[in-house]
Amino acid sequence: MRLLPLFALTLVFPAVALAADPHSYAQPAKVRVTHLDLDLKVDFAQRQLDGGATLKLDWKDAKAKDLVLDTRDLKIASVEAVGTDGKTQPLKFALAPRDKELGSKLTIQAPQHPAQVRIVYTTVPEASGLQWLPPEQTADKKLPFMFSQSESIHARSWVPLQDSPAIRFTYNAHVTAPKDVRVVMSALNDAKHPLDGDFTFAQPHPIPSYLLAIAAGGIDVRETGPRSAVYAEPSVVAKAAHEFEDTEKLIATTEKLYGPYAWGRYDILVLPPSFPYGGMENPNMTFATPTVLVGDKSLVSLVSHELAHSWSGNLVTSAAWRDIWLNEGFTTYVQGRITEAVYGKTLADEEALLSARALQKSIGEMSANSQKLTPDPRGVGADDSLSSVAYDKGSWFLRTLEQRFGRETFDAYLRGYFDHFAFQSIDTDTMFAYLKTNLLDKYPGKMSEAEARAWIWQPGIPKDAPLPTSPRFDGIDKQRTDFLAGKLAADKLDAKTWNTQEWMFFLDRLPDVTPLEKIKEIDAAWHLTGTPNAEIGMRWYVHAIAAGDKDVWTAAGEHMARIGRLYLTTPVYRAFAKTPEGLAFAEGIYAKAKSGYHPMTQGAVEGIFAKAKKAQAK
């Protein structure tokens, strides 16, 4: 594999001094994991991973006596020190009682400071970072499927490690699985690897634990370029390869903007519908939802987003979950630039407007602290740190910087930022110090330090925040107004040419409770009930349920049962849960769909039910 100049930068930059991570038991000031060797067996029958993790250690504190690791529900069989000569020695260890959020602290007595420690363990079937699907819950219904989701702090449920974004490590892995099953990881994958049940992987670049990923199942491969391929179940792979055929073009476009792609290959794994997110930016192997496979490439901005993470997030990483906007805000901005370069400014502006309008609508319902890009410490779970503020306010701030300083100047700044902090984890203070020196002070009079600080550390959205214009959206706004006022019939809407984003815009700005007759009129004209486009379907069902249209309930239930992606499923559950009858219907759907949902989706839906029952009991 070609090692790029960016990789060499990690050898000369000093480590950034960071505060302790409240979501990890690790003590990196005393000892730090620098490399992981995994040896795992995929056991579908028992729904578990069996094997061992060998951690290479850099002892920082001469007085340290223990190695403290993060775990959640792991069954630890043994721990031993591994000497430079390969000899082993048992080590005493203690597994603390389980904390609901953080799991169990694993304390290993290691006063002799061994260079490596090996832990033999087994995961449990309910591991929060793994989902095991029987054949009937896959597309092809022939082989079982397993995949991980380590973000935010779920890697500890399948590997004992220092589970904090501030700690980066390289890794190698040896994984065995039943024959005919393909195993892939967030590392270099060989598309031509025989399905012989024996796989090896190497990740030569240091990554944080939340980017550790694995999947196994009936997975086929199609090359989409000289350094990209699509992996998916055989019945899905051709459709996915067509949808993502522009991947190489996307990579090359981003390289022109922000420098060489540092990871060698960029592959995409399309998972079963139970995957809880749109995409996960695992290095070398993005995990993606099948809900973006709509046939017209209208939702491939998801690939632009996950690819952008190869620079913002994977290359330069937020050191703590409260700083997650450094990953997601920067990435959403870069996504827009990729989309504009490859698919045109109209689509990029529409997507920016959609996210900005949605944020304007929702931000007022948040606490003042939650409206900040870097909120004050608030005691929330790591998973709860992700919000539209991190994505949409963050990218809006960067678009504002681009407007104030000019695109050419801002592009040069951003490329320098990625180069300077390559393969490091940083916090917002570190980012801001670099911003002040290399942009605000270097080009005075464009934006004051106070203005920039307000964007990051103050609630809300500045009143002068710029928005792109969209003549097509303006036209849709007028048509929606005329339709609601009775001046325009639904079948006269100019919707035959609307793309997915334009339908989203039309639906997003309907009244929260639209008159039932208007909902009926739209459906009669445009047949949105039963749409295969999940982005449109989610919005449509929420409006139709709120209007009281019981004719959509069956199709809405099929949508909920088919899709495990949180963003596309939980709003429909929430809409049903507003009435006792709707809640009962939703509980019936969930009872049938639960086994096919990811643990994260299960938790979210059950939380909706609990909140609804509490409200209805008052």
**Sequence ranges of the binding site for Zn(2+):** 305, 309, 328
Which candidate in 151, 281, 306, 502 is catalytic?
306
What is the b/e burial string over 25-49, where b = at least 16 CB atoms within 10 angstroms of the residue's CB?
Answer: bbbbebbbbebbbbbbbbbbeebbb
Q: Rounded to 5 degrees, what angle do the CA atoms 603, 604, 605 make?
A: 95
Structure tokens that stand for 121 in this block: 């363990």
Preceding amide of 387 cis, omega within 30: no
Backbone phi, then psi, for 44, in 5-degree steps?
A: -70, -35
- Beta-carbon contacts of 218 under 8 Å, excluding residues fewer than 6 positions away, are 138, 140, 142, 143, 145, 180, 181, 182, 233, 234
CA neighbor of 31 nearest in space, from 55, 5, 7: 55
Q: How many helices (H) and strands (E) does the chain have?
A: 19, 21
For 61, how many CA atoms within 13 A lie in the half-sphere containing its CB? 13
CA neighbor of 188 nearest in space, from 176, 200, 177, 201: 201
Q: How many beta carbons lie within 10 A of that of residue 527, not counting itself?
A: 9
Respond yes or no: is residue 223 known to be catalytic. Answer: no
- Beta-carbon contacts of 505 under 8 Å, excluding residues fewer than 6 positions away, are 350, 353, 354, 357, 473, 476
Which candidate in 391, 417, 590, 597 is catalytic?
391
* Residue 198 host element (H or E): strand 198-208
- In angstroms, rounded to a whole number, what is the distance separating the alpha carbons of residues 326 and 332? 10
Helix, strand, or coil (residue 179): coil
CA neighbor of 597 nearest in space, from 564, 556, 558: 564
Respond yes or no: is residue 80 known to be catalytic. Answer: no
- In angstroms, rounded to a whole number, what is the distance separating the alpha carbons of residues 110 and 483? 72
Helix, strand, or coil (residue 70): strand
- In angstroms, rounded to a whole number, what is the distance separating the alpha carbons of residues 253 and 303? 13
Please identify every residue annotated as catalytic.
306, 391
